[in-house]
Amino acid sequence: MFNTNSLVNTKRKVLLLDDEERVLIALRAVLRHQYSVTIATEGAQALEFLKNEDFHVFVSDQRMPNLTGVEVLRKARDIAPATTRLLLTGYSDLAAIIGSVNESEVFRFINKPWNNNELLNIISQAADVAEEAKTVFKANPELMAEAAIMPVYTSSHRQSVLILDQDVAHVEEVRQVLDDVNLLWAKTSDEALKILSENTLGLIIVDIAIGGGVVDLMKLLKQQYPHVLSIVTTHRQDSTLLIDLINQVKIFRYLHRPYRTGLLKQYVSSAMSMQHRFEAAPALVKQQAPQQSTSSMTVSTSIMDKVKALGMRLRLNFSTA
């Protein structure tokens, strides 16, 4: 006789957090046929669920009483680093969006109202990422601990970091702060691609305000080489653009100028720690998979060709690191 319980038990687990019950009901209706869904209406309740049960995906609303979504997701990362985190909100709250990157390291940012098919696609990707992470962390417990605490990275040799920026004063300030890395400076996308073709590196610091299709270049780089991380520093305040950068570029950190220089040093160290985890367990790179852009890119064919040509260096270096 067919055992329906065995089918239920093989479903991947999704935890939903929202203080509005109608939202939870709507989300559960979309997901329940494919996933085992648990709901929570308070942050503390959701965190208790995470401590006692193994979830693949955790979806949290941002605006809630007591703990915000960013705060809950930050705590969730510490409790269950293999669980993929998603932030759901109907508000373009710039501070919350920045927090979702810098503090919670969300996989995707989902706007309300959501599209059911897009939501299912995102949850499916997130669950796949979690499966890979759980397998890796089971075999390498030390990597799971590192993912939770984000330790300061130390290396026996100087790491190379690319900065794409036209502000001379800012570049010099960054050079002084990052005195333990080999900082390579580019003022244009073409210069950046030349440096990438000649050097082995996994971190780029970018001022998106320089224009010239730099955001599209970042999207293209992330699609081709998801292990390459990016830190955005800029004077611009654009929540819509930032959401695109989270979803389609998977930016590692975001710094609004002016910022405390100590933060940049901390973020660079965290990025290098993540690179170390990628080298130890390449399957974790799936956590960096970007959402495919639905808009047309403005980069030229020559730039696309140059990005693809980087594979001989970037991919080969990564696979043998």
User: What is the amino acid identity at position 46?
Assistant: A
Question: Residue 154 domain-assigned?
Answer: no
142 and 284 fall within a common domain: no
Q: Which of 112, 147, 182 is the last residue of a domain?
A: 147
Indicate whether 260 and 178 sit together in one domain. yes
What phi, psi does 315 have (nearest 5°)? -70, -45
Q: What is the chain's mean pLDDT, rounded? A: 89
**Closest C-alpha to 81, from 149, 13, 17:** 149
Residue 308: band (very low, low, confident or very high) from pLDDT cuts 50, 70, 90: confident
Q: What is the CA radius of gyration of the chain?
A: 20
What residues pair up with 96 in beta bridges, in sequence order?
none
Pull the structure tokens for residue 179.
């005195």
Range of the domain at 190: 159-320
- With beta carbons less than 8 A apart as the criterion, state whether 235 and 209 touch: yes
Same domain, yes or no, for 113 and 255? no
252 vs 240: CA distance, rounded Å = 17
Pair (53, 184) in one structural domain:
no
pLDDT tens figures, 191-248: 999 999 998 889 999 999 988 789 999 999 999 999 999 999 999 889 999 999 999 9
pLDDT over 70 percentage in the chain: 89
Cβ contacts of residue 272 below 8 Å, gap of 6+? Answer: 153, 155, 159, 203
Top-ranked range on mean pLDDT: pick from 4-18, 119-133, 187-201, 267-281: 119-133
Residues 58-103 have pLDDT tens digits of 999 999 888 999 999 999 999 999 999 999 988 778 888 999 999 9
315 in the same domain as 183: yes
The answer as to whether 165 is a domain residue is yes
Task: Indicate whether 200 and 269 sit together in one domain.
Answer: yes
Please tell me the distance from the alpha carbon of residue 258 to that of residue 215, in angstroms, as a whole number: 21
CA–CA separation, 104 and 254 (whole Å): 12
**Counted domains in the chain:** 2
* 321 vs 319: CA distance, rounded Å: 6
Which domain CATH number covers 231?
3.40.50.2300
Residue of 212, 208, 204, 246 lying closest to 228 (CA atoms): 204
